[in-house]
Chains A and B, each alone.
Chain A
Amino acid sequence: MHRSFTFLTWAALLCTAALLALGLVLPKWLLFMCTMAFANGLVSLGIVLLMRGGVVAFGQGLMSAIGGYTAALLFQKMGITDAIVLTLVGGITATLLTAPFAPLLSRYRGIFFSMLTLAMSMVGYGILVKTERLGGSDGFNLGRVSVLGQALSDDWVGYVLYAVAVFFACLMSYLSRIYFDSTRGLITQAIRENELRVEYLGGSVRHTMALNFVLAAFMGGCGGALAVMALGHIDPNFSYWTTSGEFVFVAILAGTQSVIAIMLSSVILEAVRSFSSAYFPNTWQLALGLFLMFVIRFLPLGLGSLWSPKSQKEQEA
């Protein structure tokens, strides 16, 4: 768990390079699927951040919607087409719009936190559906993005979007890993185990959870912007609670110990989704539900627990 900084940096660079190289040989549909997986994986990363603090956020869909609508609006109304800029601004907007709620949300735990975030997500949905200027329930479209000033040709747009998604996913995962191992990150885990003792040791549950919420909002916003650019379209469903539920599903599948597990779980979800919609369109949700039950029952700590070091039992030998 406490790997060195240099090791982490090299691991992150290698991962990024490997994924970029891999992208060059993948077929277009798989590139698209992975782009969506990494975009959604970012949103789920936000949920994991909060889960490490012991709360399950059912409202990340709102963050992803804010990021997505921001990106789409900037593209349509202000002609900003750079993918990296759009992603960052999407993340920042989501953070700024929801940061005022962070101190409030940090007071809640358990079911109430989940319900409050769910309510926020549904308020967002309600507003988006009824706002005609944002396209109402149909949402609106986004054209082709550019990167670093370069326009993108038909052949390359899929790969470049994939590359941008890979870049953000690896960067955020790397930073998250450092954050998990930091003093703030450790206190987050302690809060999940025993909030009372954290307060009695001088730590602040509220400050830490508010920070986690803001970080999660940023990730959600970035993820939403990336997803919109890949899909070319955004609508209010991004903020519906069932969309938020899918992000929660990935977080549960991944567990809270490994950042790689999150991206992996997101890829698995996208793969199951693509496969199901092609062959079993009427049983996609059934498959998801059974899968979730299986994970909860037999792998409650998520995929990450399969390879993360358990409390160093091995070190005793």
Chain B
Amino acid sequence: MSSSLLLSARHLQKQFGAVVAAHDLCVDIEVGQRVSLIGSNGAGKTTFVNMITGYLKPDQGSIHLGDTDITAMSPRQITRLGVARSFQIPQLYPALSVMDNMLVAMACHDNQLSMWRSASQPQHIERGVELLERFGLIQHRHRRVSELPGGVRKLLDIALALTGSPKLLLLDEPTSGVSAEEKFPMMETVMHALGNEPLTALFVEHDMDIVRRHADRVIAFYSGRIIADDAPEQALATDDVRRYVTGELRQEANHA
């Protein structure tokens, strides 16, 4: 396997009863790419992300991270290999403060979980502050997460994923649930924050302007299959994408 290939998914198959969520998916992700996954709801994007991060096991096929086969691994094992994800519905620790949320992330990543070493170690606090500043969240550091507005929670969700310095970051609809005016600035913040890290990012997105602006590669899904895989301008110009994703072309009557 060439050294610049980070993630390789081969012939992934996943069915839920009669619904085919993934059909013979083959995807290669190179190091450093910013890939956007697009497709209408139910097309299979989140299933794909879930399979990579270990939440789901594919019925058939394999996933390799570098040379390691991660197909059957648990989310925890995959995370420890350098894959991190953010969630469509932010998964945070509501009763804890923003800073404590970051400290938890760092403690989880820490190889020496200690029964006496304080969770508020200086180096953890330093990294926490650094990340919070990058995401523009530092002013909230002492506030309880349950009191925060939606946009702030989404940013924190992503910041948590970054604490472990992952090689591969998967963002599941980072701008969903955020108001229209906030979407662009939010994505700018996220991408700017990612800019410093040497990592590869996949993000699921519905807003094509954001996709054009931030992705260097677009993979389009429909009915569990990949219908386009190209640079943004090319991918978004294909008939299939215009028909099944962006809705610019009308679909035939007998397609569901």
Contact = CB atoms under 8 A, between A and B. Distances in A.
A200 B144 CA distance: 21
A153 interface: no
A273 B38 CA distance: 65
A316 interface: yes
B16 to A, nearest CB: 20
Interface residues of A, number: 33
A186 B107 contact: yes
Given A181-B120, A199-B79, A190 B113 contact: no
B110 interface: yes
Given A203-B108, A311-B143, A183 B96 contact: no
Most buried by B among A185, A190, A204, A208: A190
A184 interface: yes
B68 to A, nearest CB: 16
B205 to A, nearest CB: 20
B108 A202 contact: yes
Contacts, number: 116
Given A179-B115, A196-B91, A201 B142 contact: no
A194 B108 contact: no
Contacts of A201: 79, 84, 104-105, 108-109, 160-161, 163-164
B143 A182 contact: no
Given A186-B103, A193-B96, A200 B85 contact: yes
A202 B119 contact: no
A241 B109 CA distance: 38
A141 to B, nearest CB: 37
Contacts of A178: 116
Contacts of A182: 114-119
B162 to A, nearest CB: 11
B76 A197 contact: no
B116 A186 contact: no
Interface string A161-184: 000000000000000001101111
A289 to B, nearest CB: 28
A311 B85 CA distance: 27
A274 interface: no
A311 B140 CA distance: 11
Interface of B: 53, 74-76, 79-80, 84-85, 91-97, 100, 103-105, 107-110, 113-121, 142-144, 160-161, 163-164
25 contacts: A178-B116, A179-B115, A181-B118, A183-B114, A184-B114, A184-B115, A186-B104, A187-B104, A189-B104, A190-B108, A193-B95, A194-B93, A198-B104, A199-B76, A200-B53, A200-B84, A201-B105, A201-B109, A202-B80, A202-B108, A311-B95, A312-B97, A313-B143, A313-B144, A316-B142
Given A187-B104, A194-B91, 17 more contacts: A5-B118, A181-B119, A183-B119, A183-B121, A184-B114, A186-B103, A186-B104, A186-B107, A187-B113, A193-B92, A193-B95, A194-B92, A200-B75, A200-B84, A201-B84, A203-B113, A310-B144
